Amino acid sequence: MVTAHQLGQDGEEAALQHLLVLGYELVQRNYRHRRAEVDLIVRRGSRLLVFVEVKARSSAHYGYPEEFVTERKRQLFRLAAEQVQEELHWSGDIRFDIIALSPTATGLRLEHFEDAFW
């Protein structure tokens, strides 16, 4: 049986590999600012910085992973994004994505929601 912590780590790694294949570049993993944590911060080119929340679930019994990104989590993401932009002197665009992972009968469901919230 996989622990919740291991499931989360495996999910983050799968999400990162997905993004790298799509041409994104990793800026930082597990960025923390006050009470906010951003799983992945990636960049696409020189004009787009993406803050990614990775949600992995062992089943969809209680709902899909993407449904568990609460309004409070979104607020904390915005706070962290402001701090990162200040630290990096970022003047380009930003976006908030969710990558949801859950098992299926044939493997792993990975769904990437671009521009999932603001």
Q: Residues 6 or more apart from 82 whose CB is under 8 A from it?
A: none
Which pLDDT score is estimated for 103? 77
Determine the structural domain holding residue 22 and report its residue range: 4-113
Which spans in the chain are helix H?
4-21, 71-88
What's the sign of the alpha-carbon dihedral 46, 85, 98, 31?
Answer: positive
pLDDT of residue 98 exceeding 80: yes
pLDDT-based confidence at 89, cuts 50/70/90? very high
More confident residue, 92 or 64: 92
Residue 40 forms part of a structural domain: yes
State how far the Cα of 91 lies from the Cα of 49, in Å rounded to an integer: 10
In the chain, how many domains are there? 1
- Write down the residue that tokens 């019994």 correspond to: 61
Which pLDDT score is estimated for 69? 86
Percent of the chain with pLDDT over 90: 67
Residue 118 forms part of a structural domain: no
Residue 24 forms part of a structural domain: yes
User: The domain spanning residue 47 has which CATH number?
Assistant: 3.40.1350.10
Q: Which of 10-14, 60-64, 68-72, 78-82 ranks highest by mean pLDDT?
A: 78-82
State how far the Cα of 77 lies from the Cα of 87, in Å rounded to an integer: 15
